[in-house]
Amino acid sequence: MRILPKPFSTRNRTNANRGNALLRPALLEIDALQIDVLQINPLKVGALRIHMLHIAAFLLVTLLVIFAPPALRTARAQNPDDMMPAASATKAKSIMTQAITALGGDAYLKVRNSDCKGRAAQFEHSGGVVGYVQFHDYRQMPDKNRMEYGPKGNIVNLYAGKEGWTLDRGGVSDVPAQDMADYQETSNTDVNTILRYRMNDSSLVFRYSGADVVDLKEADWVEIADHEGHTIRIAFDRKTGLPIRTVVSQREAETGDRIQRSTYYTSYHVIDGIQTPFQVSRFRNDQQTYQVFYESCQYNTELAPEMFTRASLDSYFASTAKKGKGNKK
């Protein structure tokens, strides 16, 4: 059997022709250097070697330029630091608009609520995982979230706007002020909050931050600055348009130390026409603090508004307390 060489694709042929054109002057110079070895003057050998090294370096750089990955060639052609602020903001918003389309377009933007179940990792102070717990996550857009933990859902964290409460075996209590501030900060800088509600926020400054390889994917970074001192960087997968990582940086008011919160979005699935990451992981200064694995999700279900009130937690605790007394009898 005779094996024939594979034909060049159009793209390869274009690269080859471009490469030949660029390399031809160097190849002609090498031909001009062909001489009879016996006639070489020993005093000129060093100079000849240096000249040959220069030609070899030129060839290497040329090949790297020709066959570099597309993302790197584009990044070289369009340095974000050379862009005017208006052009940079326009490009950043264009990438984000494409991400909205990739996430589901109008279906994504018009989500009223979500109802998701899964497993959440539990972490010790050192950052190691000590186990997993079942959770039921209810969200009412834009700022209400009820997270129930355990098979019976009797441990609850509930946030509604600027208020928050927790339910545990001891009853219902207000969320501590620092925990409330952390939740609001996370919510306001979340990629979904920005894409759904803050694209036209005049207090935000948008900037294209360049091309990169993120989690083995070619990506574009968009950078956003707000009046609270946050710098929010979002990496969008060039192939799918989906967000794959966010990095939120801010200086701590008391110490001046820079805090960095990173979130990773992976394992996307289409649910009700909306691209949904089924694995979300968060890190604070490189130490993991959060990880969830979704098993199911629904959008725009009939969630009762009362679910997101303190009264619902008080009522639930009262009913479980009565059951406890009844069991003792």
Short-list 174, 173, 171, CA closest to 317: 171
CA gap 158, 165 in Å, rounded: 5
Domain boundaries, the chain: 10-67, 85-328
pLDDT of 42:
41
Overall average pLDDT of the 69-75 stretch: 49
Give residues with Cβ within 8 angstroms of 211, minimum separation 6: 71, 72, 74, 75, 218, 219, 220, 221, 238
Overall average pLDDT of the 260-281 stretch: 97
In the predicted structure, residue 86 carries a pLDDT above the cut 80 = yes
- Highest mean pLDDT: which of 49-53, 73-77, 147-151, 283-287? 147-151
CA distances from 33 to 6, 38, 48, 52, 313 (A): 34, 14, 9, 9, 87
In the predicted structure, residue 99 carries a pLDDT above the cut 60 = yes
Compute how many other C-beta atoms are within 10 angstroms of the C-beta atom of residue 156. Answer: 20
In the predicted structure, residue 67 carries a pLDDT above the cut 50 = yes
Q: pTM of the full predicted structure?
A: 0.74
Q: What is the pLDDT of residues 14-40, one digit of tens each?
A: 444 444 544 454 444 444 434 343 344
Q: Find residue 118's DSSP bridge partners.
A: 135, 294
Fold of the 85-328 domain: outer membrane lipoprotein receptor (LolB), chain A (2.50.20)
Overall average pLDDT of the 110-129 stretch: 91
More confident residue, 221 or 321: 221
In the predicted structure, residue 45 carries a pLDDT above the cut 50 = no
Q: What is the pLDDT of residues 215-264, one digit of tens each?
A: 999 999 999 999 999 999 999 999 999 999 999 999 887 788 889 999 99
Mean pLDDT of all residues belonging to the chain? 82
CA gap 65, 21 in Å, rounded: 13
In the predicted structure, residue 10 carries a pLDDT above the cut 80 = no
Residue 271 pLDDT level (bands cut at 50, 70, 90): very high
Q: Phi and psi (nearest 5°) for 295?
A: -110, -25
